[in-house]
Amino acid sequence: METITIYIGGAAHTMPYEAPRVLAAFLEPYGFPMPCGGAHTCGKCRVTAYGALSPLSETEKRLLTVDEQLSNVRLACCAQALGGCTIHARAPENARVETAGLSAQRSDASPFGTQGYAFAVDIGTTTAAVYLVDLTRARPAEAASALNAQASYGADVIARIARCAESGVRPLQEAILGQLDGLFTVLLKRSGLDARVVRGVVLTGNTTMLHLAAGLDPAGIAAAPYTPQSLFGVMESARRLFAALPPDVPVYFAPCAGAYIGGDLICALLAAAPQENELLMDIGTNGELALITGTGILCCSTAAGPAFEGAGLSHGMVAADGAITDVSMTGKGAVCTVAGGGAARGLCGTGAISALAALLGCGAVDETGLLDEQYHEAFPLMDGVALTQADIRQLQLAKAAVAAGVDSMLQAAGLAPPDLRALLLAGGFGSRIDVRSAASIGLIPPVCAPCARACGNAAGAGACLIASSQSALDDAERLAKRAQVLDLTESAFFSDRFIEQMLFPLF
């Protein structure tokens, strides 16, 4: 019998060969990331494989270097197993999850009672974070995170919605729910607890992530008039969702305000509690913005893409050990800070912004984003990790989308950047970012740098608040109803500003 052997995450898995299939199909159950969802465009699903395989495709010849082609490197979404073969794949890496600063601030009872524990979950497009909340103390006791297991279906919400159109919602729902079951089990075990102590679950995330968790078709989110099936704010039971929990455990889906204003932004608003003329920026694969005006809450969302999460960059990685997090320039070249010390393995989103700011500062990149030709399309940073011209273009697009979103919000509110009293940066990426670097590349208005501050994973903090306080749950539902969504898809002002924001600031 011919077999397929997969080496991933330090473990070997063997299965019988049955029929020709792309290598990605064998790697899917292990959460192997497929940033473009198998669209043959990103070239980041590299594996090493040998045995009975299809010949190199035109895409592989285009996206792999000659050295890689000679070293059995293949693209998992292109190469097919035609018989027995062996695949070596890199395990998905988990970003760090912050628990510092996550404490409930309300004194009333939890919607799940006053005893036991609850799980608060922030399903990010890139990372899923789970917090175990002690209801007697109303605070998170433990936390764990993992790269969203749906990564193998695409890096952003549009790619995942496209996969649902092809193969239904079920595989994506099973991927995330199975992963959360695993994280619940890990946290309970780590705390010496039994699943019977769990009294409730709060799920937050963008509107698409909540659709996928609930098993709802998200197709309406991807095309005009952008109509989701649900804006949630509903209580379900664990029965049809989580095998690791008792079936009668209530599961609350955080309320959303629109197709692209999700429960994550509402939870972030709840936790960060911005005041009038304060802007909350939750920057991840989507840039979600909320501005408190004299009359209400103005929200918008811009498609930043995965570059800020490190997912779309040539040497991109999540903010884990081995990631370059900070770059400064000396006369001898780049000086890099690496998470965890040791050798550099890649560049996370904050490191990429820091590197770009440093290159703009020393003139190696000009205001149009062009890397000086002496660097031959890639500026070397450390240990073979580089920032390439293509990476700079990706960051430029992401920066322009977010900055044009900020401009549009301010224009709609009749404000100018100096009018902002505070700029709150939320999300795993937003809260780690160096404010000066963000201002240097124009991601935030430079004039706002002195009033910018990080507020941690505010979406996760908001979910913890809801898990521990009925009044917080009520406030979240009120916030979702009050939020006024600014639609940028048809906005000529946004389009104009987007083009202008493609230029980097000159200092």
Choice from 6, 22, 23, 36 touching ligand FES (CB under 6 A): 36
Q: How far is the CB of 59 from ligand FES (least distance, A)?
A: 7
Q: What is the DSSP letter of 369?
A: -
Judged by CB under 6 A, does residue 44 bind ligand FES? yes
Distances in Å between the alpha carbon of 329 and those of 65, 362, 364, 396?
Answer: 29, 7, 10, 20
Q: How far is the CB of 58 from ligand FES (least distance, A)?
A: 12
Tokens of 5: 């052997």
Distances in Å between the alpha carbon of 486 and those of 55, 259, 262, 267, 478?
Answer: 49, 12, 14, 19, 18
Q: Which is nearer to ligand FES, 318 or 439 (CB)?
A: 318
Judged by CB under 6 A, does residue 360 bind ligand FES? no
Query: Do residues 305 and 41 touch, judged by C-beta distance below 8 A?
Result: no
Distance between CA 88 and CA 12 in Å, rounded? 9
Distances in Å between the alpha carbon of 206 and those of 102, 156, 416?
Answer: 20, 11, 28
Q: Is the peptide bond before 228 cis (omega within 30 degrees of 0)?
A: no
Q: How many CA atoms lie within 13 A of 160 on its CB side?
A: 32
How many residues are given for the chain?
507
Q: How far is the CB of 105 from ligand FES (least distance, A)?
A: 42
Q: Which is nearer to ligand FES, 45 or 339 (CB)?
A: 45
Q: Which is nearer to ligand FES, 161 or 410 (CB)?
A: 161
Distance between CA 297 and CA 483 in Å, rounded? 5
Only segment of 28-36, 118-126, 330-338, 374-382 that touches ligand FES (CB under 6 A): 28-36
Q: Which is nearer to ligand FES, 76 or 180 (CB)?
A: 76
Judged by CB under 6 A, does residue 42 bind ligand FES? yes
Q: What is the DSSP letter of 469?
A: -
Positions in 71-100 near ligand FES (CB under 6 A): 75, 77
Choice from 38, 218, 284, 456 touching ligand FES (CB under 6 A): 38
Q: How far is the CB of 66 from ligand FES (least distance, A)?
A: 18
Which residue type is seen at 270? Answer: L
Only segment of 43-51, 120-128, 278-286, 449-457 that touches ligand FES (CB under 6 A): 43-51
Only segment of 38-46, 250-258, 300-308, 435-443 that touches ligand FES (CB under 6 A): 38-46
Positions in 93-152 near ligand FES (CB under 6 A): none
Q: Coil, strand or helix: which one is 230?
A: coil
Distance between CA 464 and CA 471 in Å, rounded? 13
Q: How far is the CB of 266 from ligand FES (least distance, A)?
A: 32
Residue numbers of the site for ligand FES (CB under 6 A)? 34-36, 38-45, 75, 77
